[in-house]
Amino acid sequence: MTDAPLAALFDMDGVLVDNTDFHINAWLQFAQAKGFPITRDQYVANINGRVSADAMAYVFQRPVEGGELITLTEEKEAIYRELYRSHLQPAPGLIAFLEALKAQNIKLAVGTSAPMSNVHFTLDGLQIRRYFDTVVDASMVRHGKPDPEIYLKAAERVGVDPARCVVFEDAFAGIEAGLRGGMQVVALATTHTQAELVNSGAALIVNDFTELSVATIEALVDKTPR
Ligand SMILES: O=P(O)(O)OC[C@H]1O[C@@H](O)[C@H](O)[C@@H](O)[C@@H]1O
């Protein structure tokens, strides 16, 4: 046990909100309308948890950049937000868990592959932005998950050593990003089942935040090799 600061770094989609089905339906609808239909399995394997530049490149089978990327991303995200808007709610146990972490002076951050428009929709729509010391979104990095850049930037911005950070993730790309950043990872079984996550490398797998406490998080970090 040390007094060095700790940080909890939260993925957004599939973690702060249990919204994966809405993203899937939006992607399927968008890709179909563009003449490049995809399946749910293709979404889960190639798009889930990834930044839009990588997702669009997969759908259109070519690089998508600049103004075209911005336009297509907003087209897809507008579909998603319309589908999810009336269902928007925090994941079970999230608010109590954020309050408990904050009461212990643990730094809190969001590290998301989503664009800023969706960050605004989610954090401000739920009025939870005030909990977080920093937010890192897709526009702030060069490399999306599974590259660790998003989480390393979040750790740097809250001033906490990556080895003292715990990442909360639902997607394989995000779990890999946290692990490659030298962080402990807690997997939320929202997008994937507990069985599917067993070999993901996550230190802990939970169904939702009601199963977590500050003590569990401190214990995970204290067992990180130095
Ligand atoms: O990194 P996060 O918060 O899970 O965000 C990833 C998601 O961002 C969304 O914008 C994409 O449409 C999803 O397909 C993707 O999974």
Distance of CA 87 to the CA centre of its chain: 19
**Are 163 and 185 members of one domain?**
yes
Domain that holds residue 14: 7-19+90-222
**Are 179 and 72 members of one domain?**
no
Q: Determine which residue's CA is closest to atom 8 belonging to ligand 1.
A: 114
Distance of CA 80 to the CA centre of its chain: 16
Strand partners, 13: 17
Rounded distance between C-alpha atoms, residue 23 and residue 13, angstroms: 9
Classify residue 151: in a domain, yes or no. yes
**Are 12 and 98 members of one domain?**
yes
**Are 49 and 97 members of one domain?**
no
Residue type, 54: D
**H-helix or E-strand spanning residue 32:** helix 20-33
**Which atom of ligand 1 lies closest to the CA of 80?**
12
Probe target for ligand 1 pocket from 10, 13, 80, with the most ligand atoms within 8 Å of CB: 13
Probe target for ligand 1 pocket from 11, 20, 22, 23, with the most ligand atoms within 8 Å of CB: 23
**Are 106 and 154 members of one domain?**
yes
Q: What is the pLDDT of residue 3?
A: 74
Which two structure tokens, joined as six digits, stand for 62?
A: 């070519």
Rounded distance between C-alpha atoms, residue 96 and residue 89, angstroms: 14
Classify residue 1: in a domain, yes or no. no
Q: Is the pLDDT of residue 1 over 60?
A: no
pTM value? 0.95
- In tens, the pLDDT along 116-171 reads 999 999 999 999 999 999 999 999 999 999 999 999 999 999 999 999 999 999 99
**H-helix or E-strand spanning residue 137:** none
Q: Determine which residue's CA is closest to atom 15 belonging to ligand 1.
A: 49
Q: Is the pLDDT of residue 223 over 80?
A: no
Provide residues with CB under 6 Å of ligand 1. Answer: 11-14, 23, 47-49, 55, 112-114, 118, 171, 174
- In tens, the pLDDT along 193-221 reads 999 999 999 999 999 999 999 999 999 99
Q: Is the pLDDT of residue 186 over 60?
A: yes
- In tens, the pLDDT along 29-62 reads 999 999 999 999 999 999 999 999 999 999 999 9
**Are 184 and 141 members of one domain?**
yes
**Are 200 and 121 members of one domain?**
yes
**Are 98 and 34 members of one domain?**
no
CA of 47 to the centre of ligand 1 (A): 8
Rounded distance between C-alpha atoms, residue 209 and residue 193, angstroms: 15
**Are 101 and 200 members of one domain?**
yes
Whether 201 and 176 have beta carbons less than 8 Å apart is answered as yes
**Are 117 and 206 members of one domain?**
yes
